[in-house]
Amino acid sequence: MSTECYDLSDNFVTVNRIVRSESLAALRNGSASTATSHKSLLSPNPTKDIVVVRFSEELDPTSPVTIQVINAVGSVLKQSIATGVQSAVSVSDLPNGIYFARIYQNEHREMIKFVKN
């Protein structure tokens, strides 16, 4: 290491805000105004074959809930409709990677990122 001193008063750092990927996906799919922080739970994460989504208490268990599995570029790869408090979705046929579970019922919208390995 050098023992010399340097004048760094002319060096400036610009800090840019980083937007979470869930927010980017919501923007890409036109649902940014209704995207919420997720209160539903997805497990296991990472997964090999099945993800179980336990729905937020804000959702009506007697009304249909739509679950979509979306890839990193926003394409819907799977879609299922469920009722109750949770649902299992098979992802065994998908290649390893990063995906999003979009969960919605009426005006309630959530995006949860998960990894398939």
Strand partners, 114: 99
The ranges assigned to domains in the chain are: 39-116
**Cα(76)–Cα(2) distance, rounded to whole angstroms?**
55
Taking only the tens of pLDDT, the chain with its 117 residues reads: 556 665 656 655 555 555 455 555 555 554 444 444 558 999 999 999 999 999 999 999 999 999 999 999 999 999 999 999 999 999 999 999 999 999 999 999 999 999 999
CB 26: neighbour CB atoms within 10 A? 23
In three-state secondary structure terms, 21 is helix
39-116 CATH choice from 2.60.40.3080, 3.30.930.10, 3.10.180.10, 1.10.3720.10: 2.60.40.3080
- Let me know: does 59 contact 83? Beta carbons within 8 Å: no
Which pLDDT value is given to residue 16?
54
Q: Which residues contact 106 (CB under 8 A, 6 or more apart)?
A: 63
**Cα(60)–Cα(105) distance, rounded to whole angstroms?**
8
pTM: 0.67
Helix (H) or strand (E) holding 103: strand 97-105
